[in-house]
């Protein structure tokens, strides 16, 4: 990455060291599942992650060109769109670290479940409608 301009969305060196084990494990598992043919990946996972963070921070569409120094947007999006859970792992890692620094348990002990209230038809009898007192809506929760 020498020669590439640094952007405010790029990871710092300390954060790079934190996510390095997750990224290298992910890449080695990915390489292990495929046939061991072809050329090795061209792109550094840190530059791909920086490009994803750049898109997230700026909010521009994927098809717009990324600044010079980042891989092509097709490549970045292909890595981002894979449903392999690497971003969930990174999010979980960072959440546990923040909770540890705050002196709290790594895993939360309570959860909030939100529901949605659906208005019922006026033809439904009042005894079957239900009410959401918090939202002051007559209807059913789902």
Output the tens digit of pLDDT for each of the chain's 142 residues: 556 788 888 888 888 888 888 888 887 777 776 666 666 667 788 888 888 889 888 888 888 888 888 888 888 888 888 756 777 888 888 889 899 999 999 888 877 776 666 667 777 777 777 766 666 667 666 6
Q: Is pTM beyond 0.85 here?
A: no
Q: What confidence score (pLDDT) does residue 142 get?
A: 63
The CB density around residue 124, as the number of other CB atoms within 10 Å, is 14
**Alpha-carbon distances, residue 105 vs 75, 89, 93, 100 (angstroms):** 38, 18, 13, 6
Q: What confidence score (pLDDT) does residue 38 get?
A: 66
In 3D, which of 7, 85, 79 has the Cα closest to residue 49?
A: 79
Question: From CA 130, how far away is CA 137, in angstroms rounded?
Answer: 9
Q: What confidence score (pLDDT) does residue 99 get?
A: 92
Question: From CA 19, how far away is CA 8, in angstroms rounded?
Answer: 18
Question: From CA 112, how far away is CA 138, in angstroms rounded?
Answer: 22
């Amino acid at each position: 990455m020498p020669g590439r301009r640094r952007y405010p969305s790029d990871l710092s060196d300390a954060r790079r060291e934190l996510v390095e084990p997750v990224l290298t494990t992910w890449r080695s598992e990915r390489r292990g599942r495929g046939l061991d043919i072809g050329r090795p990946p061209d792109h550094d996972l840190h530059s791909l992650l920086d490009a994803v963070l750049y898109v997230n921070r700026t909010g521009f569409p994927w098809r717009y060109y990324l600044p010079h120094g980042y891989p092509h947007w097709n490549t970045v999006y292909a890595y981002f769109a894979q449903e392999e859970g690497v971003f969930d792992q990174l999010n979980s890692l960072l959440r546990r670290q923040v909770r540890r620094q705050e002196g709290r348990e790594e895993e939360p002990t309570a959860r909030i479940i939100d529901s949605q209230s659906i208005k019922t038809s006026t033809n439904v009898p009042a005894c079957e409608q239900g009410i959401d007192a918090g939202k002051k809506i007559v209807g059913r929760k789902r």
